[in-house]
Amino acid sequence: MTPKRILYAGHEPLSSLQRLVLAGGSALMALYDPARSDMVAALGETTGESALFRMQRRMRESDEGRRILEEKPRISTKTIDLEKLRSLPESSLGHRYVTFLGANHISPDTRLPVKYVRDPNLAYVMTRYREIHDFVHALLGMPVSLLGEVVVKWFEMIQTGLPMTTLASFFGPLRLTNEERVELVTGYMPWVTRSAVKTQFLMNIYYEKRFEQNLDDFYKEIGFVPYKP
């Protein structure tokens, strides 16, 4: 039997059958319990390689995106000084990000490592997608709640095309209350659909280089309009 090739640190090679079984099983578990981040991650990795390729291509078409692909920055407490971000003006991108982390009691260190993507370069694209997820929450002004996650996933679905985001976007609302579904359909959904189309591809933003940028200026640059009830 030919040994399976390890393509990057943490890579776990799968046969075609194993990949199919894991994709199906993780989809069922993710639908049953959206809080199972391991199943959501496995689903994204086993079904998303075509989307990751398109995301990589869009990044290569941008100067900032190409720089990210070349330098492969990582987002964690080892690479970002959160105390420094707290000292920035409240109107800055960095302060908005660290305030979001604190308000929701989360850390940038909690993202699961990529294991099942078969190309090391695409594995980094998936890693980057996961590590900027909290920036998307912060920029959209969405809390870490089921409703907030559905809104963010809808935005990500339109921008990235990852099958996992599509599943979350269409099945996530089933777990909302009737009041939340009305709010989603009549308020958030029209806004987030327009925003995802008009806003610059968020994978092409080197957030770590922009922490001191004024948030209003940043919004204008990327073409984003915050939600107004």
**Whole-number pLDDT of residue 3:** 58
- b/e string for 31-56 if b means 16 or more Cβ within 10 A? beebeeeebbbbbbbbbbbebbeebb
**Whole-number pLDDT of residue 31:** 74
Regions in the chain scoring below 70 on pLDDT: 1-3, 34-35
**Whole-number pLDDT of residue 178:** 96
What is the chain's mean pLDDT, rounded? 93
CA distance 170 to 150: 8
**Whole-number pLDDT of residue 196:** 97
Output the CA–CA distances (angstroms, integers) from residue 70 to 53, 75, 114, in the order listed. 16, 15, 18
All residues at 6 or more sequence positions from 210 whose CB lies less than 8 Å from its CB, including other chains: 93, 94, 218
CA distance 47 to 134: 22
**Whole-number pLDDT of residue 41:** 87
